[in-house]
Amino acid sequence: MSTTKPNILLIYTGGTIGMVKDFKTGVLRAFNFKNILKRIPELNLLDCNIDTVSFKEPIDSSNMNPEYWVQIAELIEKHYHDNDGFVVLHGSDTMSYTASALSFMLENLAKPVVFTGSQLPIGDLRTDAKENLITSIQVASLQHRKKPVIKEVCLYFEYKLYRANRTTKINAEHFEAFASLNYPDLAESGVHLKVNNEYLFKPNVNKKLVVHKNLDKNIALVKLFPGISEAVLQSVFNTPNLKGVILETYGAGNCTTEAWFINILKNAIKKGIHIINVTQCSGGSVIMGHYETSNQLKKIGVISGKDITTEAAVSKLMYLVGQNISHNAFKISYEIALRGEIT
Ligand code: ASP
């Protein structure tokens, strides 16, 4: 590899982007990702050296799980010093979960990790894959005085670069499949690639990368709805070994004030289960105590997820439970931004 151009590692985990249509049968199948440079000769025009590595068996991202997150983190860890940036190709369905998880797992990250994918396979005539892939590589290659411009985990899709742990998949049909409702775009791709420097994450670049691999899956996610029954809620909280629950509440963090509901939560907190209040709204924030219908939650010790996305809330919970810290330290860490995930 030449030393003057940035080295970029493409990590293929699976998803539509790496599939081609069999013209005879119409069936989508994965192609050998090692051949990507042959399939997309445009990549050779980019001002960087590209290397590729692929999951042995690429997956549809609906099969994603924390064990695969660790695999991705380990690939980045293994190739960290030899590369200036990373582009992770991933199915769009759970991309926000994986990318959020990686943001917590890669502490003191000082290089770009850009997640991307596509709604149509790379071989499709109307594909969105080429633009997403090419611009993601360009974003990962951006340098200022030989140092990466982006130093965080982000997600590029349909002309926009977002902070990964602020994103949600909002559309299964449109090319614009993701949104970041509580944080501005990090960059926009038009005639020029416009980076919004003021919104970029500024890590302490003198600290060494720490890769956290201990994620605890003993958590649950409960979305409230009018009429949710005591039996259903109790069964979730009775789950053996349960360590934490994300409660998706209404509006600014509100919920029913019925005694049975509050009692279940109170007992769970007494048993040491962490309960996080996250709003069902795609935009805006939990403000506990703003309404009477959230004041009780505050009093019994429910943790505020503020304006975190559900996707980031899930992986932050797995990450912090895996840290084995005291309940107090847990609450403090959850309620502050560790990787820019909370305003
Ligand atoms: N089901 C696919 C996946 O998430 C969709 C996509 O690739 O965007 O892997």
**Are residues 268 and 237 in contact, defined by beta-carbon separation less than 8 angstroms?**
yes
The set of protein residues with a Cβ atom below 6 angstroms from ligand 1 is 14-16, 60-62, 91-93, 117
pLDDT digits (tens, 9 = 90+) for 138-160: 999 999 999 999 999 999 999 99
**Best CA proximity match to 167, nearest among 279, 15, 310:** 310
Q: Does the structure show a pLDDT above 90 at 25?
A: no
Protein residue whose Cα sits closest to atom 6 of ligand 1: 91
**Are residues 27 and 21 in contact, defined by beta-carbon separation less than 8 angstroms?**
yes
Instruction: Report how far ligand 1's centroid is from the alpha carbon of 60 (Å).
Output: 6
Instruction: Report how far ligand 1's centroid is from the alpha carbon of 274 (Å).
Output: 32
CA distance 157 to 104: 21
pLDDT score recorded for residue 123: 78
pLDDT digits (tens, 9 = 90+) for 102-129: 999 999 999 999 999 999 988 788 989 9
Q: Does the structure show a pLDDT above 80 at 44?
A: yes
Q: Go through the domains of the chain in sequence order and give each one's CATH number.
A: 7-211 (3.40.50.1170), 219-334 (3.40.50.40)
State the first-to-last Cα distance of the chain, in angstroms, to the nearest integer.
40
pLDDT score recorded for residue 1: 52
Instruction: Report how far ligand 1's centroid is from the alpha carbon of 255 (Å).
Output: 33
pLDDT digits (tens, 9 = 90+) for 49-106: 999 999 998 998 999 999 999 999 999 999 999 999 999 999 999 999 999 999 999 9
Protein residue whose Cα sits closest to atom 4 of ligand 1: 91
Residue type for position 333: S
pLDDT digits (tens, 9 = 90+) for 195-224: 999 999 999 889 999 999 999 999 999 999
Look up the pTM and report it.
0.95
pLDDT digits (tens, 9 = 90+) for 8-20: 999 999 988 888 7
Residue of 59, 63, 65, 93 with the most ligand 1 atoms within 8 Å of its CB, for mutation? 93
| Structural Rg of the chain based on CA atoms | 21
Strands 187-189 and 160-163: antiparallel
CA-93 nearest atom, ligand 1? 4
Residue of 20, 59, 62, 98 with the most ligand 1 atoms within 8 Å of its CB, for mutation? 62
What average pLDDT does range 249-271 have in this prediction? 96
What average pLDDT does range 292-297 have in this prediction? 86
pLDDT score recorded for residue 343: 96
**Best CA proximity match to 69, nearest among 106, 32, 20:** 106
Instruction: Report how far ligand 1's centroid is from the alpha carbon of 258 (Å).
Output: 40
Q: What confidence category does residue 23 fall into, taking pLDDT thresholds of 50, 70 and 90?
A: confident
CA-94 nearest atom, ligand 1? 4
